[in-house]
């Protein structure tokens, strides 16, 4: 690292900071040079230079903590036994008043090296829209396989949300290009699934595969609802994804339901 070739005692804080800002902490995480740089900065007599060393240490600790958190999620998926392919499946859109319910099944490489862990995966609701979109791209690139399934508002009205929920879980798991040896499903077991299946309560915070599925499904559905918002601008779908927010309810009372509303969900509203 260039900063080690410099005598920082002879450098201004600005010059030192410029060199510190060039450091890729994640790439240098376990290198001895990074430890030496932190020590040099913290031992400097200037408090602002010391603060740079402390900043690097905090960022390093944060990255290590995140790696350990995600490792635990990968290890959770491996804890059920020796399986070649483990799929995680989750849904989004069970509760909205409009639009489809969407499920995704994802198979990850659970034995990947640390550098290939998908950091920051979590329950999609705990992530910003921007972060979900970034992660969805990475998940699709790194996943061994994934499949997205959806059930329309019409089917939800005709057959019920429970039926539609299970249907898309089943489709997402059985239409993967690779047949999983184990399916981890968020919340409850998938009915009529002829694959070994374990239900995981709050699985999107425990299982790497379920969390990945949650993110991909959420991004996919949100994109659909943003497109619908252009056709049906009265309900603020671009903001609420079909959930019953104040703007959405106001739109319903003003202009009534549109063709993507779940009429069976509106009986106590209209």
What is the rounded distance in angstroms from the CA atom of residue 151 to the CA atom of residue 168?
A: 7
Closest CA to 252 of 238, 268, 239: 268
Q: Has 186 been labeled as part of a binding site?
A: yes
145 phi and psi angles, rounded to 5 deg: -165, 155
Dihedral angle, C-alpha 196, 202, 205, 208, nearest 10 °: 10
* Contact (Cβ atoms closer than 8 angstroms) between residue 235 and residue 115: no
What is the rounded distance in angstroms from the CA atom of residue 166 to the CA atom of residue 176?
A: 16
Q: Has 90 been labeled as part of a binding site?
A: yes
What is the rounded distance in angstroms from the CA atom of residue 217 to the CA atom of residue 91?
A: 7
Q: Has 141 been labeled as part of a binding site?
A: no
Place of tokens 């240098």: 28
What is the rounded distance in angstroms from the CA atom of residue 19 to the CA atom of residue 37?
A: 11
Cα 14 to chain centroid distance, Å, stands at 37
Place of tokens 């920051």: 120
What is the rounded distance in angstroms from the CA atom of residue 56 to the CA atom of residue 50?
A: 10
* Contact (Cβ atoms closer than 8 angstroms) between residue 78 and residue 71: no
What is the rounded distance in angstroms from the CA atom of residue 112 to the CA atom of residue 60?
A: 21
Annotated binding-site positions for a divalent metal cation: 90-91, 186
Annotated binding-site positions: 90-91, 186
């Amino acid at each position: 690292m260039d900063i080690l070739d410099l005598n920082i005692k002879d450098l201004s804080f600005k010059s030192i900071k410029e060199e510190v800002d060039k450091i890729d902490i994640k790439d240098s995480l376990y290198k001895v040079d990074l430890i030496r740089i932190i020590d040099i900065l913290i031992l400097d007599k200037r408090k602002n230079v010391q603060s740079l060393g402390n900043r690097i240490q905090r960022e390093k600790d944060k990255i290590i903590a995140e790696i350990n958190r995600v490792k635990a999620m990968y290890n959770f998926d491996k804890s059920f036994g020796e399986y070649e392919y483990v799929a995680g499946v989750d849904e989004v859109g069970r509760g909205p008043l409009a639009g489809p319910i969407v499920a995704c099944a994802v198979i990850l490489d659970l034995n990947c090296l640390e550098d290939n862990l998908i950091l920051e995966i979590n329950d999609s609701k705990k992530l910003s829209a921007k972060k979900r979109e970034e992660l969805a791209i990475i998940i699709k690139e790194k996943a061994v396989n994934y499949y997205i399934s959806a059930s329309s508002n019409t089917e939800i009205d005709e057959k019920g949300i429970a039926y539609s929920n299970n249907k898309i879980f089943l489709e997402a798991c059985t239409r993967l290009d690779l047949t999983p040896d184990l399916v981890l499903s968020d919340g409850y077991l998938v009915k009529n699934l002829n694959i070994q299946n374990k239900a995981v309560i709050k699985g999107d915070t425990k299982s790497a595969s379920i969390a990945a599925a949650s993110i991909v499904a959420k991004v996919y559905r949100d994109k659909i609802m943003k497109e619908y918002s252009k056709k049906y601008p009265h309900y603020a779908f671009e903001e609420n994804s079909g959930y019953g927010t104040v703007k959405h309810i106001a739109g319903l009372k003003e202009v009534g339901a549109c063709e993507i509303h779940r009429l069976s969900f509106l009986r106590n509203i209209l």
